[in-house]
């Protein structure tokens, strides 16, 4: 029997108003000159203004510093530029606020701050000293990627123009703040897309064949939370209970995919790098096709997913359990406005070859419930196009 390591170490503060506890934790970690990492859009929101007020709005440049240049799908500059600011200002910690992109960039910037002049791509190719990274605090303002509790950072490399995953336990945050008050301004479409990302994480991590029963339980509960809370959060952005449940569900999805993911993520990643598509939207538009593909080759795969969705599928055949579950997911996504086609969001037939090439190279499908070939990827893209 092979060995598997289990770990759930991230300290998390949850609840409306949790952001106000930040100064006490900065003091606990000895952080007096943090760099705040975010994107230009988030820097104009009420969520950022709340953070600035907590840190001391008039003190920026004295007690805290700001990098607000992160792209929607982070690139190398989103790591090298904040790393340079960390060194320039002598920062002793990093606070990342926003969606998965600022959080991923903030994590990785600490590595380049420790190793100035070392090309980011080299960290994917050779061992490095990951010890002693600056303490990192993650404050998500979307409920989707779960990057706040992850030990990875996904960056599009300059040399390959492809997403690459940095992975190391030292990337974990020292503290995560899940404050639903920071998510109330997220528009309905982004609420839906990020929530679909969390749903995809939970479904794919549960059906990943790796042995990790702790993650299985977390994934199934995450599905239950999302099915109940996401429609409410989309319908009424000020519903703090729904917003809070979605923040927790997104974190649960990311904890669950310690097991790894599957074919849907391998379909989605190239759609971001080649078509500029939002990652959660890409997952949503590929999820049903990916589930059909897996169920046809491994009947019964989605029975417990269906139960987590609230369906009565305990006593039906494997094929019927899968069909009812997939139909429910399709209807659920449609109710959130996520039943469009890839072509409606910029994907073109002439991109199929490049999409397939990147999907084949993407590692997520290596842990899919069933094997996936290049021909399978092409058929799936055509189904979703």
pLDDT digits (tens, 9 = 90+) for 9-51: 788 999 999 999 999 999 999 999 999 999 999 999 999 999 9
Residue 4 within a domain: no
Domain extent at residue 35: 12-182
To which H or E segment does residue 221 belong?
A: helix 213-235
Per DSSP, the three-state class of 28 is helix
Domain end residue (candidates: 151, 182, 213): 182
DSSP conformation class of 159 = T
Number of domains in the chain: 2
Residue 5 within a domain: no
Rounded mean pLDDT, 278-282: 95
Residues 169 and 277 in one domain: no
Average pLDDT, the chain: 93
Residue 172 within a domain: yes
Beta strands across the sheet bearing 34-37: 12-14, 175-178, 136-140, 93-98, 34-37, 65-67
| pTM of structure | 0.92
Domain end residue (candidates: 149, 182, 215): 182
Rounded mean pLDDT, 73-101: 95
CATH of the domain at 45: 3.40.50.1970
Locate tokens 């949790």: which residue?
18
pLDDT at 287 exceeding the cut of 70: yes
pLDDT of 127 reads 65
Domain end residue (candidates: 182, 210, 225): 182
At residue 116 the predicted structure's pLDDT band, cuts being 50, 70 and 90, is: confident
Rounded mean pLDDT, 168-186: 93
pLDDT of 159 reads 81
Residues 119 and 208 in one domain: no
Burial zone of 154 (CB within 10 Å; 0-12 exposed, 13-18 middle, 19+ buried): buried
Rounded mean pLDDT, 84-88: 96
Locate tokens 């998510």: which residue?
183
pLDDT at 117 exceeding the cut of 60: yes
pLDDT at 55 exceeding the cut of 70: yes
Q: Could you tell me what percent of the chain has a pLDDT over 70?
A: 96
Residues 282 and 359 in one domain: yes
pLDDT at 4 exceeding the cut of 60: no
Rounded mean pLDDT, 177-201: 96
pLDDT of 83 reads 96
Residues 257 and 343 in one domain: yes
The dihedral through the CA atoms of 53, 59, 65, 68 has a sign that is positive
Residue 76 within a domain: yes
CATH of the domain at 195: 1.20.1090.10
- The answer to whether residues 347 and 277 touch, using CB atoms and an 8 Å cutoff, is yes
Residue 1 within a domain: no
pLDDT of 61 reads 63
- The answer to whether residues 106 and 82 touch, using CB atoms and an 8 Å cutoff, is yes
Residue 256 within a domain: yes
pLDDT of 130 reads 82
Residue 3 within a domain: no
């Amino acid at each position: 029997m092979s060995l598997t390591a289990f770990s759930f170490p991230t300290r998390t503060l949850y609840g409306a108003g949790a952001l106000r506890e930040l100064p006490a934790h900065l003091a606990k970690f000895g952080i007096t000159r943090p760099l705040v990492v975010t994107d230009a859009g988030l820097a104009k929101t009420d969520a950022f203004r709340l953070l600035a007020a907590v840190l001391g709005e008039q003190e920026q440049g004295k007690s805290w510093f700001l990098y607000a240049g992160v792209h929607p799908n982070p690139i190398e500059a989103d790591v090298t530029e904040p790393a340079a600011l960390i060194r320039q200002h002598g920062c002793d910690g990093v606070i990342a606020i926003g969606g998965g992109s600022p959080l991923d960039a903030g994590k990785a910037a600490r590595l380049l701050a420790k190793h100035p002049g070392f090309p980011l791509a080299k960290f994917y190719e050779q061992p490095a000293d990951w010890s002693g990274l600056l303490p990192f605090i993650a404050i998500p303002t979307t409920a989707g990627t779960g990057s706040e509790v992850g030990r990875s950072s996904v960056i599009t490399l300059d040399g390959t123009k492809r997403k690459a995953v940095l992975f190391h336990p030292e990337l974990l945050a020292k503290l995560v703040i899940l404050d639903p008050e920071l998510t109330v301004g997220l528009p309905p479409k982004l609420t839906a897309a990020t929530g679909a990302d969390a749903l995809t994480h939970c479904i794919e991590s549960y059906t990943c064949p790796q042995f990790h029963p702790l993650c299985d339980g977390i994934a199934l509960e995450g599905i239950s939370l999302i099915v109940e809370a996401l429609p409410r959060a989309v319908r009424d952005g000020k519903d703090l209970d729904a917003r809070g449940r979605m923040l927790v569900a997104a974190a649960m999805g990311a904890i669950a995919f310690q097991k790894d993911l599957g074919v849907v993520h391998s379909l989605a990643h190239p759609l971001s790098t080649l078509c500029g598509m939002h990652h959660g939207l890409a997952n949503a538009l590929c999820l049903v096709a990916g589930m059909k593909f897996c169920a046809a080759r491994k009947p019964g795969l989605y029975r417990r997913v269906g139960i987590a969705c609230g369906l009565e599928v305990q006593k039906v055949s494997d094929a019927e359990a899968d069909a009812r579950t997939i139909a429910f997911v399709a209807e659920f996504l449609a109710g959130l406005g996520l039943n469009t086609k890839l072509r409606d969001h910029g994907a073109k037939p002439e991109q199929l070859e490049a999409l397939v090439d990147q999907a084949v190279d993407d590692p997520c499908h290596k842990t899919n419930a069933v094997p996936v070939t290049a021909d399978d990827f092409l058929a799936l893209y055509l189904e979703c196009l």
